[in-house]
């Protein structure tokens, strides 16, 4: 089962715990944009956007560990957003890139933000959809998250290690509805299938049904929660990097909590662009064509087709590219 209609090459990147699965879409003669999906999603999140992007651009989309078709972490381990920054570093090392161009949605945007702030000299382009950083949590919510999360995680781990049968299976239409409701109806129902086909496996007990094969532990992935002061310092490190952010007006994930972040990014970065359009948190899926009305001019300025000789092991810096 595969709903993608875009030509691609399936890849696997070896890592110490297994592999990271991905797909390389489009141009293979040039370093691609590395695309990072959101929490509980997978690389299928890009299937509706990629056909509307400039044709000279290649996209390397991955499934984060525990998501999609990438290896799960060993039993007893816990997922953390910081570990996904490490996953990005494994990919950069695998391809020996001197620079990296990054595109992220939701949790993927947080990973993009953290990597760019920590290693700004290695990043030459950023695209974020409806998120920039992890929001600040109120103290009581953070305590509740850990208090309940540890108990629920322990219960789930006990179930996984003692239950040898396959997980509960469902009809495909039921799974579509689970994605629809689970996303807070952020993903249009007809688009839910793009987030399903890499996250489910056909049941051997009930052949007409499927079960979720993504790692159950990703439900408890620890977010990157930090102080206001550290966040401001991280923001100041992202300078002179073409940086595109677009928000869905029906989403509350870019709110007043992010206003100071956006203010600093705009002040310190002459290449920062911010837009708002009608749409939900998954605007890149539901409103792909509208998104690209704003995104494609940005990409054509900072990732121009004229650089036909630019290879995957290029050493072009951001200042050179931004002037082209």
Which tens digits make up the pLDDT trace of 253-292?
A: 876 566 777 888 888 889 999 999 999 999 999 999 999 9
pLDDT exceeds 90 at position 87: yes
Q: Which residues contact 76 (CB under 8 A, 6 or more apart)?
A: 157
What pLDDT, on a 0 to 100 scale, did the predictor assign at position 261? 77
139 — pLDDT class (breaks 50, 70, 90)? low
SS3 state of residue 46: helix
In this structure, the number of other CB atoms found within 10 A of the CB of residue 185 comes to: 12
311 — pLDDT class (breaks 50, 70, 90)? very low
SS3 state of residue 275: strand
More confident residue, 307 or 81: 81
What pLDDT, on a 0 to 100 scale, did the predictor assign at position 266? 86
Strand duo 33-36 + 123-129: pairing: unpaired
Given a contact cutoff of 8 angstroms between Cβ atoms, the answer to whether 176 and 192 are in contact is: yes
Q: How far apart are CA 152 and CA 148, in angstroms?
A: 6
pLDDT exceeds 60 at position 136: no
Task: Give the percent of the chain with pLDDT over 90.
Answer: 64
**Domains, the chain, ordered by start:** 8-134+223-322 (3.40.50.1820), 140-220 (no CATH)
Q: State mean pLDDT over 7-27.
A: 95
Q: How far apart are CA 166 and CA 212, in angstroms?
A: 10
pLDDT exceeds 50 at position 310: no
What pLDDT, on a 0 to 100 scale, did the predictor assign at position 165? 74
What pLDDT, on a 0 to 100 scale, did the predictor assign at position 155? 67
What pLDDT, on a 0 to 100 scale, did the predictor assign at position 161? 55
CB pairs under 8 A, 24+ apart, for 139-144? 142/225
Which tens digits make up the pLDDT trace of 157-199?
A: 665 555 557 888 999 999 999 999 999 999 999 999 999 999 9
- Average pLDDT of the chain to the nearest whole number: 86
């Amino acid at each position: 089962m595969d709903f993608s209609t875009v030509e691609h090459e399936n890849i696997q990147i070896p890592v110490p715990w297994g592999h990271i699965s991905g797909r390389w879409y489009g141009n293979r003669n040039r370093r691609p944009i590395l695309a990072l999906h959101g929490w509980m999603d997978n690389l299928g999140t890009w299937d509706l956007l990629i056909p509307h992007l400039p044709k000279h651009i290649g996209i390397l989309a991955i499934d984060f560990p525990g998501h999609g078709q990438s290896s799960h972490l060993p039993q007893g381990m816990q997922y953390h957003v910081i570990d996904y920054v490490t996953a990005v570093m494994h990919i950069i090392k695998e391809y020996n890139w001197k620079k990296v161009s990054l595109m992220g949605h939701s949790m993927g945007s947080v990973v993009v933000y953290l990597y760019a702030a920590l290693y700004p000299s290695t990043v030459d382009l950023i695209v974020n959809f409806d998120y920039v950083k992890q929001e600040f949590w109120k103290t009581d919510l953070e305590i509740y998250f850990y208090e309940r999360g540890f108990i629920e995680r322990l219960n789930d781990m006990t179930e996984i290690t003692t239950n040898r049968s396959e997980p509960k299976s469902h009809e495909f239409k039921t799974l579509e509805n689970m994605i629809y409701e689970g996303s807070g109806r952020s993903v249009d129902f007809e688009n839910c299938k793009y987030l399903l086909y890499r996250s489910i496996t056909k049941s051997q007990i009930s052949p007409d049904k499927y079960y979720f094969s993504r790692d159950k532990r990703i439900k408890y992935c620890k977010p990157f929660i930090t102080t206001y002061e550290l966040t401001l310092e991280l923001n100041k490190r992202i300078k002179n990097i073409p940086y595109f952010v677009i928000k869905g007006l029906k989403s509350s994930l870019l709110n007043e909590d992010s206003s100071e972040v956006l203010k600093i990014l705009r002040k310190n970065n002459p290449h920062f662009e911010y837009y708002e359009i009608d749409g939900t948190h998954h605007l890149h899926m539901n409103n792909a064509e509208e998104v690209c009305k704003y995104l494609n001019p940005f990409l054509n300025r900072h990732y121009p087709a004229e650089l036909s000789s630019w290879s995957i092991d290029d050493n072009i810096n951001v200042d050179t590219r931004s002037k082209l």
